[in-house]
Structure 1
Amino acid sequence: MSDRVRVTVWNEFRHERHNAEVAKVYPEGIHRALQAGLSAYGFDIGTATLDEPEHGLTADRLNDTDVLVWWGHQAHDEVDDAIVERVQQRVLQGMGLIVLHSGHYSKIFRKLMGTSCALKWREADEKERLWVVKPSHPIAAGLPEYFELEREEMYGEHFDIPDPDELVFVSWFEGGEVFRSGATFSRGQGKIFYFRPGHETYPTYYNEPVLRVIANAVRWAASERGAAPFYGNAQPLEPIAGK
């Protein structure tokens, strides 16, 4: 891995081109807003979108990516299964994956989780309070014990995911619901983080605590792995001296 973490931000880039309300918030796309917001953290950041050849996720691009950030919503089914398989293999090999908001229902997240990843939701102008429930985790570095988003879409339990390796954030909404909004997983050699905020009609990805969480998650997902495993036909080990 290079000294600077190599990040690819993937976005459908459909809402921003076809919905005037979303275009007002993200005129150049959610991926460009995230690229700009995360650039202050010293990453090498590129972008890819659904309508590019191979969805912008060629083998070379993925091989040059330490952490992939994923935002999707209305076109999950348009993501080619072969590309999903390619991304999954890179995660198993050690590429980090940060899945944002409605990306919970993406093919890649469901494939890696092995569950429906279904939840309840309500699209309304509600306050979201995100509580840090594991303050010692690197993803929570530099945050207060909670932070608030004045307007967001509600996601509520039950969230059909496997039990997380670690739960970093829990959200509360004005309607009374709570949600496991920041959860980590490991698959193969790869680290995965799901982070809930980011409905396309709200300026969530300009919010500094939100950007800090994503930047912290990128660093965490790109951090050194453990011992490199070997798979396949193994030769006998050299005998221990003196035995």
Structure 2
Amino acid sequence: MTIRVVVWGENVHEQENETVRKIYPEGMHTTIAKGLAEDPMIEATTATLQEPEHGLSEARLAETDVLIWWGHKAHGEVSDAIVERVANRVWEGMGLIVLHSGHFSKIFKRLMGTPCSLKWREAGEKERVWVINRSHPIAQGLSDYFEIEQTEMYGEPFTVPEPMETVFVTWYEGGEVFRSGLTYKRGGGSIFYFSPGHETYPIYYNTDVKQVLKNAVKWANNPAPAWAGITKAPNTPADKAPNGPMTIKGETLHKPGEAGFR
């Protein structure tokens, strides 16, 4: 079964910064999608901030199994309505993979419910990503660790909720450590945060990084039907109770069949 992936890219640095444009002439989103497409199980397409509805119409999201999100400079330009649309799809069962500076994206903060802040430094230092959960599906095909020659440092404390699983922990040349691969569950959807991916370095060409993303797509994919109506809170009348009609005892706030307060 083919896994349908949309790689969402902010697509701002590639247009404004010559260094980024030289490394990713087709945009980071396209490079990520091409890396995923090396796996015959994955069908990867792209969407960007500049497209109508940011490329994430209701129809397209309904046909998306896993959404990958990369953003940095223009988090505030993402429509709140689109954020809620994506959140609803995650609750329904769509997988979500959030990359690097996407920790500050509206969708990640919406689903985490925390500031998602961290320490950082741009110094082109070495990053060693340690695999601390060897049996996890996202870690398959990797050695004990892999290295990225130049990267941006992300350091603790990382103000996210306690994860379901920690797959990777990173050590940086400057001495900091960071929980660089975390999993979460929100409603029917699985979420993976992966920190490597600063735009001024060719990180998304790295063989191990590409392996992580391929594995993460397969892990986040949920083949079950969408959990339609997960956000609804329907009134179940007394005469429709599973054990048969009930006699209403006492006073009520609502008329029969009336929607609840929100």
TM-score (norm 2): 0.87
Distance (whole Å) between structure 1 residues aligned to residue 87 and residue 200 of structure 2: 29
Instruction: Give how far 1:119 is off.
Output: 0.3
The within-5 A match list for 1:37-186 is 37-42=35-40, 43-186=42-185
Q: Secondary structure at the match of 1:176?
A: coil
Q: In the alignment, which residue of structure 1 is the partner of 2:257?
A: none
> Structure 2: which amino acid aligns with 1:12?
E
Going from structure 1 to structure 2, the CA distance change for 1:227 and 1:41 (only over 3 Å counts) comes to closer
RMSD (CA atoms): 1.7
Distance (whole Å) between structure 1 residues aligned to residue 189 and residue 33 of structure 2: 22
Matching residue within 7, 10, 21 for 1:9: 7
Q: In the alignment, which residue of structure 2 is the partner of 1:232?
A: 234
Q: Secondary structure at the match of 2:72?
A: coil
Identity percentage of aligned residues: 60
Q: In the alignment, which residue of structure 2 is the partner of 1:26?
A: 24
Q: Secondary structure at the match of 1:83?
A: helix
Q: 5+ unaligned residues in a row in structure 2: which ranges?
A: 245-262
Instruction: Give how far 1:157 is off.
Output: 0.2
Distance (whole Å) between structure 2 residues aligned to residue 15 and residue 69 of structure 1: 18
Distance (whole Å) between structure 1 residues aligned to residue 122 and residue 114 of structure 2: 24
Is the CA contact 1:181–1:196 (under 8 Å) kept in the aligned structure 2? yes
Q: In the alignment, which residue of structure 2 is the partner of 1:218?
A: 217
Distance (whole Å) between structure 2 residues aligned to residue 9 and residue 38 of structure 1: 10
Are positions 1:35 and 2:17 aligned together? no
Is the CA contact 2:197–2:203 (under 8 Å) kept in the aligned structure 1? yes
Distance (whole Å) between structure 2 residues aligned to residue 30 and residue 119 of structure 1: 23
Going from structure 1 to structure 2, the CA distance change for 1:78 and 1:226 (only over 3 Å counts) comes to closer
Distance (whole Å) between structure 2 residues aligned to residue 226 and residue 60 of structure 1: 15
TM-superposition CA deviations, 1:5-55 (whole Å, max 9, x none): 000000010100110000010001001101111101121111000010010
Q: Secondary structure at the match of 1:40?
A: coil
TM-superposition CA deviations, 1:38-87 (whole Å, max 9, x none): 10112111100001001000001100100000000000000000000000
> Structure 2: which amino acid aligns with 1:15?
H
Instruction: Give how far 1:238 is off.
Output: 7.0
TM-superposition CA deviations, 1:143-175 (whole Å, max 9, x none): 101000000000000000000000000000011
Q: Secondary structure at the match of 1:46?
A: strand
Is the CA contact 1:189–1:225 (under 8 Å) kept in the aligned structure 2? no
TM-superposition CA deviations, 1:182-239 (whole Å, max 9, x none): 0000000000000000000000000011011011000000044599697634544479
Q: Secondary structure at the match of 2:38?
A: helix
Going from structure 1 to structure 2, the CA distance change for 1:227 and 1:94 (only over 3 Å counts) comes to closer
Q: Secondary structure at the match of 2:37?
A: helix
Distance (whole Å) between structure 1 residues aligned to residue 162 and residue 225 of structure 2: 22
Going from structure 1 to structure 2, the CA distance change for 1:200 and 1:228 (only over 3 Å counts) comes to closer
> Structure 2: which amino acid aligns with 1:149?
I
> Structure 2: which amino acid aligns with 1:114?
G
Distance (whole Å) between structure 2 residues aligned to residue 41 and residue 238 of structure 1: 50
TM-superposition CA deviations, 1:72-103 (whole Å, max 9, x none): 00000000000000000000000000000000
Distance (whole Å) between structure 2 residues aligned to residue 34 and residue 178 of structure 1: 25
Going from structure 1 to structure 2, the CA distance change for 1:67 and 1:174 (only over 3 Å counts) comes to same
Distance (whole Å) between structure 2 residues aligned to residue 116 and residue 101 of structure 1: 15
Is the CA contact 1:72–1:106 (under 8 Å) kept in the aligned structure 2? yes
